[in-house]
Structure 1
Amino acid sequence: MKHWWMESVGYQIYIKSFFDSNNDGIGDINGITEKLDYLHLLGVNLIWITPFYDSPMDDNGYDVRDYYKVSNMYGTIDDFERLIEKAKSLGIKVILDFVLNHTSDEHPWFVESRKSRNNPFRDYYIWQDPKYVNGKRLEPTNWGSFFGGSAWKYDEATNQYYMKIFSDKMPDLNWKNPKVMDSMINVGKFWLELGVDGFRMDAVSHLERAPFIDSAFSKDIVLDWFKFSNLEGNHTYLKELNEKLFKPYGAFTIGEVGGEASIDEAIKYSSFTSNEMSMVFNFDHNWKNNVFDITDLKDLKVDVIGLKKVLSKWQETFKTIGWLPLNWLNHDQPRVVSHYGSMDYHSESAKMLATIMYMSRGTPFIYQGEEIGMTNYPFKSMDEINDVSTINSYHNQIKDRPNDKEMILKKSLMTTRDHPRTIMQWSSQKNAGFSQNKPWFHVNPNFIEINVSKQLSDPNSIFAHYQKLISLRRFSNYKETILYGDYQMILQDHPTIFSYIRKGPQKLVIIGSFSKDNETFDTNNLKFKKLVLSNYKDVILVNNKITLRPYEAIVYEVEESL
């Protein structure tokens, strides 16, 4: 069973920070169109664009006010149709975010819903009566929100609470109401008929709700994933969406199911026989270091063994029954070279991380700027933060632990979702070549050194390495092995070497070092035929042992085991 998306290389565009075509300081649709030639040069043939729908921008567009309208700040439907036309001329497929769990509180459905208890749109959302204890009005349950505080918001007009597991301005849709399903199917049809090739399904694991009973985890407000994550009803909704929307249009779908979805849940969502989605993003591998336990980045350590276990587990489980995305980050996670690499070996570590991820079985999704090694931003205060979840979480923690203010600040700044959202670094010119005017968000001070323009002219750049990796996947005689070959992790218990074998028409060994020191890789049971890829100019191989230099990455074609 082969599909076009298995042989694609994806690229996520965070539109607001990608490229500003009209110099208002905000990235836009025409900016993406202008840069499609760049993406074509990189070699990607699938792009995922984050929301550009009409929105009050409480959560950077994931709070949709009108699913059928492009936000004025991003352009028009006509602009989008031109983008689709150019993308198709370059052989680039386009998928969009489909925000299914919630809308903005300014969406016409919710504006109507909150007017009265008997409004026709009332049941588009989840409303519950208050709970009263000793005459005091309380939330219907003690469930917490992902963005801090309660998952309920009181609405005085009708003396009820609406559920919102994210921001107060993002009320949750009630998927038990068939009219919600019908309405969202119509939204999907609109964009598919405009020419999009599918959707990244935002927060898709949260469509169902458990009975409205307090969490036993605490008497206070508590975030209890089990009340609204990966519940059985989710699969019912997705099967119906697939049958009525995705399948008739041949749409590619990739779901965001988070770090709490088990392997078994992922199989239900996206095995070849699930009839729900093409594949799912999980985040099990995104936090395999000690970033939450430290306050100084010099103490950052990667759990390489843990990383290997997680990635190997997903590869092994899905080797015959489904397909996986390959990604280091998205718009919610830290820049990978800051998170798992080394600023002392910036280029080497960026190339090594790319090699060990994108030589795996699955469909790569490169996040904008990753291909040039963009890094986390040096945030110094909460005044520099834009992300609503970071701000809410910070203030909630300060309220609970006022004596820990300094530590809470440091941790918040290290882990904020704003790191990947800084401005794309196109050149060493003003505002990193993003706009002639002041950008909406920060430009990392290192844009002078780290930018697209500089790397395009350097055959040894990180960008050039990504090009080679993508070319190997799409056009080389190793394509079949890289795409569909077996995956076998070796040296599972080595604390710094990440290595695995891909076996198909050929046999490839992929080796990456997470160490700043030299490491030794024993090759006694391998007979090398050809060096396929390396991030150093040569390989030090003496007496059947490779000396791996700091963050070295090597791909060899090898003979069958001796």
Structure 2
Amino acid sequence: MTVTERKWWKDGVVYQIYPASFKDSNGDGIGDLNGIISELDYIRSIGVDTIWICPMYDSPQVDMGYDISDYENVYPPYGTVQDMERLIAETHARGMRIILDLVVNHTSDQHAWFQESRSSKTNPKRDWYIWRPARYVNGVRKPPNNWLGNFGGSVWQWDELTQEYYLHLFCPEQPDLNWENEETRKAIYKSAMEFWLERGVDGFRVDTVNMYSKGEMGDAPITDEGSEWQFAGFQYCNGPRMTEFLGEMNEILEKYDAMTVGECPHTPDPARVVKYVSAKEKQLNMVFQFDVVDIGQGPYKFQTTPRDYTLPQFKSAISRTQSIIHDTDAWTTVFLENHDQARSITRFGSDAPEHRIPSGKMLALMCCALSGTLFIYQGQELGMTNFPMEWDMSEYKDVDSTNYYKMVAARTNNSEEALKAAKASLQHLARDHARVPLSWSTGPYNGFSPADTKAQPWMRPLPDAEHCNAKQQQSDKASVLAFWKRMLQTRRDHNDLLVHGNYADLDPENKDLYIFSKTWRGQKAVAVCNFTDSAKALALPEAVANSKRELLVSSVDGCEEGKLAAYEGRIYLLA
């Protein structure tokens, strides 16, 4: 593949679907595959051309399906393999593609492979997972190292039967597969990849893609004096055999012209990112870097206060993800939301009633003006926001949220002040906000479940459906949805410039405005976004101030020359 080759996934717009929360077709309170099929025409109408389905595999659901017990089966409340085959066919029939989540760093502890692995030290599959003997310190049994898990606590779980520890970078119920074992890798490729590629899927979002090669497993540096367990992301990510493992995967994927987008945390070196996504390296097509969505997080993700970042920091994070395609054969992604993030309007705009729609439109304009493959998360196109502060902790279902709240309670002896701060942070950053049912209409359950169903939705629907639902927005030309449709069409109309153009931040230190240019072989545009809740003078930097400009699009009807409204975004074409 050359630098200029236009693969289908480069110009694509991907719509991410979280099955449990998208649409419930049978009234059991849980979204399902038939619910997705019923709304494929709606999805297509937005202007996207690929859908990404979060894990729909059979699972005990300890981590919402990222703990897979059978790659070749579907979680029964979602449907069957036959329903998946129908979803693939119906998606293709509408001229769209479909990608799945590929979760192969770990399985569920209920997977048949792990059940065999833990049955005895001599079982043929013992080495399919990562087992280690205990360390003893002054006669006390300790885990093999001091690594902190992604959901808190040690990454090691003691197994009484075989008297060894197994590694789990996430929940104890999510044991890590041993990628060093060739037989294990071959089984993964056959069961998790080829099974679905043969059924017509067009690629994968690859979960925790840089964790397969763990490297040396010594202790992590002590960065949290108050804990026995230490952050170890730089130890277990980007290990020495990653190039080899991804090369093997790519050989399979290339046979199907399948795309990959890898989840790539803890990789601060841009050169390492470029190596992962360079066309000539044949590893991954693109990755999700977390520079942007990690803005404002604390040492523990939630150990922070809401909006603990500046606009220059936000812009700098975007610049890092945009820069990897400058003078390289690499590719990048654009996203503000996914199943692991709170809602972007609440985080980066304003969910105050008067600013919610303007900031939703401004963020849509910004995303559509950035280079790379664009990813939209269900409900983002409607301007859905975080659920209210008044909701109590019982509404937080995610293991990440509940573990953090319990940790704060334990560390502070249930300090009222500390728990209030923890809840404020969760209300701003928790993954739960992305997982509430989609608001389809007003009425019972916001149209997520059939009106006559007796079962409550698995998560509480938002209380604001009267102001934010898909049915109303489809006929409202001033809605966030209508503006997303307009912006995606604008992105298609100016594909070279907006999708492939070179990006430059023209005023990095500006605390109120985000002004960036896009250039492509003589074409030039400038985007201006007002990230404040008040009107601002439109003061363009010298580099573009004297250029003749034509307004391509504004997020505000009847915009004023020389003045930006609160949360207004514009794109100008420059002569």
Query: Is TM > 0.5 for Structure 1 vs Structure 2?
Result: yes
2:514 corresponds, among 498, 504, 507, to 498
1:384 corresponds, among 395, 406, 410, to 395
SS in 2 for 1:205: coil
Could you tell me how far 1:400 is from its partner in structure 2? 2.3
Could you tell me how far 1:352 is from its partner in structure 2? 0.5
Matched residue type, 1:431: Y
The corresponding residue for 1:24 is: 28
SS in 2 for 1:48: strand
C-alpha distance in 2 between matches for 1:141 and 1:36:
48
Q: Does the 8 Å CA contact 1:528/1:556 hold for their aligned counterparts?
A: no
1:483 corresponds, among 468, 487, 499, to 499
C-alpha distance in 1 between matches for 2:100 and 2:304:
36
1:203 corresponds, among 176, 190, 208, to 208
C-alpha distance in 2 between matches for 1:412 and 1:457:
34
Q: How does 1:240-279 map to 2 (within 5 A)?
A: 240-243=248-251, 245-279=252-286
C-alpha distance in 1 between matches for 2:250 and 2:297:
39
C-alpha distance in 2 between matches for 1:469 and 1:411:
32
Go from structure 1 to structure 2 and tell me whether the alpha carbon gap of 1:507 and 1:211 turns closer, same or farther (over 3 Å shift). Answer: closer
Q: Does the 8 Å CA contact 1:398/1:408 hold for their aligned counterparts?
A: no
Q: Does the 8 Å CA contact 2:324/2:332 hold for their aligned counterparts?
A: no
Deviations 1:370-418 (A, max 9, x none): 0010000125332221111221222223222323333333323432211
C-alpha distance in 2 between matches for 1:183 and 1:232:
21
CA RMSD of aligned residues (A): 1.7
The corresponding residue for 2:73 is: 69
Go from structure 1 to structure 2 and tell me whether the alpha carbon gap of 1:70 and 1:290 turns closer, same or farther (over 3 Å shift). Answer: closer
Could you tell me how far 1:90 is from its partner in structure 2? 1.1
Deviations 1:293-337 (A, max 9, x none): 765x5xx36521111112122222322321111100111111000
Q: Does the 8 Å CA contact 2:147/2:230 hold for their aligned counterparts?
A: yes
Deviations 1:179-237 (A, max 9, x none): 11101110211101100000000011111223232223268222221221122222221
Matched residue type, 1:340: F
C-alpha distance in 2 between matches for 1:440 and 1:396:
25
The corresponding residue for 1:333 is: 341
Could you tell me how far 1:45 is from its partner in structure 2? 0.3
Matched residue type, 1:346: R
2:555 corresponds, among 531, 535, 543, to 535
Could you tell me how far 1:290 is from its partner in structure 2? 7.2
Matched residue type, 1:392: N
C-alpha distance in 2 between matches for 1:206 and 1:363:
23
Range moving further from structure 2, 225-234 or 449-458: 225-234
1:216 corresponds, among 212, 218, 221, to 221
Matched residue type, 1:453: K
1:178 corresponds, among 176, 182, 186, to 182
Q: Does the 8 Å CA contact 2:267/2:273 hold for their aligned counterparts?
A: no
C-alpha distance in 2 between matches for 1:259 and 1:212:
16
SS in 2 for 1:540: coil
SS in 1 for 2:84: helix
The corresponding residue for 1:283 is: 290
The corresponding residue for 1:363 is: 373
The corresponding residue for 1:143 is: 147
1:455 corresponds, among 462, 473, 493, to 473
Go from structure 1 to structure 2 and tell me whether the alpha carbon gap of 1:141 and 1:351 turns closer, same or farther (over 3 Å shift). Answer: same
Q: Does the 8 Å CA contact 1:526/1:558 hold for their aligned counterparts?
A: no
C-alpha distance in 1 between matches for 2:52 and 2:469:
22
Go from structure 1 to structure 2 and tell me whether the alpha carbon gap of 1:156 and 1:143 turns closer, same or farther (over 3 Å shift). Answer: same
Could you tell me how far 1:238 is from its partner in structure 2? 0.8
The corresponding residue for 2:525 is: 508
Matched residue type, 2:327: T
Q: Does the 8 Å CA contact 2:491/2:498 hold for their aligned counterparts?
A: yes
1:346 corresponds, among 356, 363, 379, to 356
Q: Does the 8 Å CA contact 2:518/2:526 hold for their aligned counterparts?
A: yes
1:472 corresponds, among 475, 485, 490, to 490
SS in 1 for 2:83: helix
Range moving further from structure 2, 119-128 or 480-489: 480-489
Deviations 1:60-81 (A, max 9, x none): 0000000000111111111111
C-alpha distance in 1 between matches for 2:64 and 2:219:
31
Does 2:53 align with 1:53? no
The corresponding residue for 2:461 is: 443
Matched residue type, 2:464: N
C-alpha distance in 2 between matches for 1:261 and 1:301:
20
C-alpha distance in 1 between matches for 2:426 and 2:308:
18
Q: Does the 8 Å CA contact 2:532/2:566 hold for their aligned counterparts?
A: yes
C-alpha distance in 2 between matches for 1:51 and 1:461:
30
C-alpha distance in 2 between matches for 1:348 and 1:407:
29
C-alpha distance in 1 between matches for 2:325 and 2:81:
38
Matched residue type, 1:428: T
Q: Does the 8 Å CA contact 2:234/2:266 hold for their aligned counterparts?
A: no
C-alpha distance in 1 between matches for 2:269 and 2:18:
28
Matched residue type, 1:397: V
Go from structure 1 to structure 2 and tell me whether the alpha carbon gap of 1:220 and 1:446 turns closer, same or farther (over 3 Å shift). Answer: same
TM-score (norm 1): 0.94
Q: Does the 8 Å CA contact 1:149/1:396 hold for their aligned counterparts?
A: no
Q: Does the 8 Å CA contact 2:491/2:499 hold for their aligned counterparts?
A: yes
C-alpha distance in 2 between matches for 1:139 and 1:416:
29
Matched residue type, 2:465: F
C-alpha distance in 1 between matches for 2:275 and 2:573:
36
Q: Does the 8 Å CA contact 2:289/2:321 hold for their aligned counterparts?
A: no
The corresponding residue for 2:430 is: 416
The corresponding residue for 1:434 is: 448
Matched residue type, 2:429: T
SS in 1 for 2:60: coil
Q: Does the 8 Å CA contact 1:498/1:513 hold for their aligned counterparts?
A: yes
4+ runs deviating over 4 angstroms? 290-295
C-alpha distance in 1 between matches for 2:525 and 2:48:
23
Q: How does 1:83-94 map to 2 (within 5 A)?
A: 83-94=87-98
2:116 corresponds, among 112, 116, 119, to 112
C-alpha distance in 2 between matches for 1:212 and 1:258:
18
Could you tell me how far 1:267 is from its partner in structure 2? 1.1
Could you tell me how far 1:261 is from its partner in structure 2? 4.2
The corresponding residue for 1:323 is: 331
SS in 2 for 1:397: helix
Matched residue type, 1:533: V
Could you tell me how far 1:28 is from its partner in structure 2? 0.7
Could you tell me how far 1:483 is from its partner in structure 2? 2.2
SS in 2 for 1:357: helix
Could you tell me how far 1:259 is from its partner in structure 2? 4.7
Q: Which runs of 5+ in 2 are unaligned?
A: none
SS in 2 for 1:554: strand
C-alpha distance in 2 between matches for 1:139 and 1:106:
22
Does 2:548 align with 1:548? no
Q: Which runs of 5+ in 1 are unaligned?
A: none
SS in 1 for 2:371: coil
Could you tell me how far 1:489 is from its partner in structure 2? 1.7
Q: How many residues align?
A: 549
Could you tell me how far 1:239 is from its partner in structure 2? 1.3
Go from structure 1 to structure 2 and tell me whether the alpha carbon gap of 1:407 and 1:174 turns closer, same or farther (over 3 Å shift). Answer: same
Q: Does the 8 Å CA contact 2:334/2:367 hold for their aligned counterparts?
A: yes
